[in-house]
Amino acid sequence: MYERILVPTDGSKVAQFAVDTAVDLAEKYDAEIHALYIADTDAVAYGLGTEQVDRIQQGDFAGMTELREDAEAATGYVTENAEAHGLSAIEHHAGGQPHRVIAHYAEDHDIDLIVMGSHGRSGVRRALLGSVTERVLRSTHTPVLVVDYEEDD
């Protein structure tokens, strides 16, 4: 049923919970996991020059230590979790508008399922879903499993 599962991640708790869910599904279906970290160029464009934004859009985070470390930690969590369950994982870093990058990645890599958190690191929640999740649902024909996570009090 599922051969390739995409997990967009920003390293947040809800994203990690989505990773755990995706790995569980991948194990059941013997699927390949794709971990995708996206630097939102709309959010960073104001503080950077055009050349840096262009590099980010190409997934080149060289010289941007904090961004590169965040990306590697987020996708590394996916790979470690997948490998612990005997699965393979592919890590990809990109820049752009997250919902568009996710939709294009899913189409370009024949993704069968996208598993993502209901909201991300920003902590800003809409009534039901984060804005990226909501936009992904509208931007792709690939099935999307939205995972919610609430901290224990």
CATH code at 62? 3.40.50.620
> Band of the pLDDT at 153, cuts 50, 70, 90?
very low
The answer to whether 55 and 68 are in contact (CB under 8 A) is no
13-27, 61-75, 97-111: least confident range? 61-75
Instruction: Give the pLDDT of residue 48.
Output: 59
| Statement: residue 50 has pLDDT above 70 | no
Burial of 110 (0-12, 13-18, 19+ CB in 10 A): exposed
Q: What is the arithmetic mean of pLDDT over 130-139?
A: 86
Total structural domains in the chain?
A: 1
pTM of the model: 0.84
* Assigned domain for 36 exists: yes
Encoded tokens for 15: 């994203």
> Band of the pLDDT at 127, cuts 50, 70, 90?
very low
Side chain identity, residue 65: T
Instruction: Give the pLDDT of residue 128.
Output: 43
Residue-range definition of the domain harbouring residue 124: 4-147
- Rounded to whole angstroms, the Cα distance separating 32 from 90 reads 8
* Assigned domain for 31 exists: yes
* Assigned domain for 105 exists: yes
* Assigned domain for 94 exists: yes
* Assigned domain for 131 exists: yes
